[in-house]
Amino acid sequence: MKTRSERGQSTVLTLVFLTVLLGMAALVLDVGSWYRTKRAAQSTADAAALAGAQSLPYDTAGAGNLAMQYANKNGGGVLPSGVTFSSGVGTNDTITVKMTKPATGVFSKLFGVKTVTVGAKATARASLMQSAQYVAPIGVNVLHPKLKGSGSSCPCFGSGNLTTLPLGKNGAPGSFDLINIDGSHGGTGGPTLANWILKGYSGYLPLGSYLSDTGAKWNDASVNAAVQARLNGPPLLFPVYDTLTGSGANAVYHIVGWAAFHLTGFTANGSSGSITGWFEKVDWDGIESTVSDGSNPDLGARVVKLID
* pLDDT (tens digit per residue) in 82-140: 999 999 999 999 999 999 988 766 555 555 556 778 889 999 999 999 999 999 999 99
130 neighbors 296 (Cβ within 8 angstroms): yes
Separation of alpha carbons 79 and 72, rounded Å: 10
Q: What's the confidence (pLDDT) of residue 49? A: 97
Which one, of 300, 254, 303, lies nearest residue 281 by Cα? 300
Which one, of 251, 250, 237, lies nearest residue 284 by Cα? 237
216 neighbors 174 (Cβ within 8 angstroms): no
- CB neighbours of 230 closer than 8 A, spacing ≥ 6? 197, 198, 236, 263
Compute CA distances 286 → 32, 50, 182, 222, 258, whole Å.
Answer: 37, 15, 16, 27, 11
Q: How many helices (H) and strands (E) does the chain have?
A: 4, 13
Q: What's the confidence (pLDDT) of residue 109? A: 58
- For residue 249, give the amino acid letter: A
**pTM for this prediction:** 0.83
Q: What's the confidence (pLDDT) of residue 75? A: 84
- CB neighbours of 215 closer than 8 A, spacing ≥ 6? 176, 187
Element (H, E) at 223: helix 221-229
Separation of alpha carbons 48 and 175, rounded Å: 46
User: Which residues in the chain land under pLDDT 70?
Assistant: 1-34, 104-114, 150, 169-176, 215-216, 270-271
Separation of alpha carbons 79 and 86, rounded Å: 18
Q: Give residue limits of the domains in the chain.
A: 7-127, 134-283
Q: What's the confidence (pLDDT) of residue 212? A: 87
Q: What's the confidence (pLDDT) of residue 23? A: 56
Q: What's the confidence (pLDDT) of residue 97? A: 98
Q: What's the confidence (pLDDT) of residue 54? A: 96
β-strand pairing of 115-132 with 301-306: antiparallel
Cβ burial of 32 (10 Å; 0-12, 13-18, 19+) is: exposed
Compute CA distances 86 → 71, 99, 121, 125, 139, whole Å.
Answer: 20, 17, 15, 9, 33
Compute CA distances 207 → 131, 133, 210, 280, whole Å.
Answer: 6, 12, 9, 20
Coil/strand/helix, residue 71: helix
